[in-house]
Amino acid sequence: MGSDVDNATRLAQEHYENFPVGSRFLPKALRPHVHRLYAFARVADDLVDEAGDLAALHEWRSATRDALDGRPSIQLLVNLASTVREFALPETLLFRLLDAFERDLAQGRYTDMDDLLSYCRDSADPVGRLMLHLFRRADAVNEHLSDRICTGLQILNHCQDVRSDYLERDRVYLPADRMLHFGVSVDDLAADTTSRGLQRVVAELVDDCAARFAEGFELPRRLGGRSGLEIRAVLQAACVIVDRMRTMNYDVARRRPTIHKADAPELLLRTLLPWKPRL
């Protein structure tokens, strides 16, 4: 494998130990499998965002295929293949993630919401579906709810990173038609202040995310148990970000709302108590 793949694998393994998903809410036996999925995606992400190396991404895809077919491959992927077999994970979901990473190298603008949602269907939704298979709770209703959550999380992340995505990677995930409608130019994304039009575009997207999360709260109720708590924790954290985006009036040029260690006690209470935020 090329040096970019080797370096990305090392980076993923470093982050592997502290992967925030697969928390203590989940049974201990499941956590290594979640970490393997994360490491797989992290390598691809680093190859795209840090190296911008399409050839190395293709190597990663080929190495994944080798591991899944039982041929010699990188140990990280051999471990992942074991997880795929144990939980009967659909291989197509893994390759859809790789398709989305490759799309990031080819496409930096999105014409409308449908265009952005088509990206999320590959970049975000497979993650939730893979988790459902790990929980052995993949059915049509749960997959729909999971897709709502995962797409919302992806779009919310785009809203948080509007400025850095453009300045660092020349990517604009905001739908171009909504930018045009509110009089927002690409140059506005690089400004030190957030224009009123940009605030309105981001507000629309955050409201869309909030609606997805409101529907998604049905998923942890359906799952129950520790897997339900895991998904509920993710949703509660996302709702905190939504609240902070609204409180700062969508001023994405000045601040990036995040979750802090100091939020942990409140998030734990929100997760454990039957409390649903008003979205």
pLDDT at 4 over 60: no
How big is the CA angle at 44 (ends 257 and 154), to the nearest 5 degrees?
35
Show Cβ contacts of residue 114 under 8 Å, excluding neighbours closer than 6 positions.
none
Q: Are residues 149 and 266 in the same domain?
A: yes
CB 213 within 8 A of CB 152: yes
| 142 and 268 within one domain | yes
Residues 192 and 143 in one domain: yes
Domain count, the chain: 2
Query: Where residue 49 sits, what CATH number does that domain have?
Result: 1.10.600.10
Beta strands in the chain (DSSP E): none
For residue 190, with 0-12 CB atoms within 10 Å meaning exposed, 13-18 middle and 19 or more buried, which class applies? exposed
pTM (predicted TM-score): 0.92
| Residue at which a domain ends, from 57, 73, 106 | 106
- 178 shares its domain with 212: yes
The domain boundary, picked from 106, 138, 167, lies at 106
Instruction: Note down the domain range covering 29.
Output: 1-106
What tokens were used for 9?
Answer: 């694998």
Q: Rounded to 5 degrees, what are φ and ψ at 139? A: -140, 175
207 & 241 share domain: yes
pLDDT confidence tier of residue 19, bands split at 50, 70 and 90: very low
Triad 140, 146, 152: Cα angle to 5°: 140
| Tens-place pLDDT, residues 172-197 | 999 999 999 999 999 999 999 999 99
> 100 and 149: one domain?
no
pLDDT at 10: 53
pLDDT in tens, 38-88: 999 999 999 999 999 999 999 999 999 999 999 999 999 999 999 999 999
Indicate whether 102 and 152 sit together in one domain: no
Q: 139-150: per-residue pLDDT in tens?
A: 999 999 999 999
**Domain identity same for 121 and 253:** yes
Q: Are residues 138 and 119 in the same domain?
A: yes
Asked whether residue 77 falls in the same domain as residue 169, the answer is no
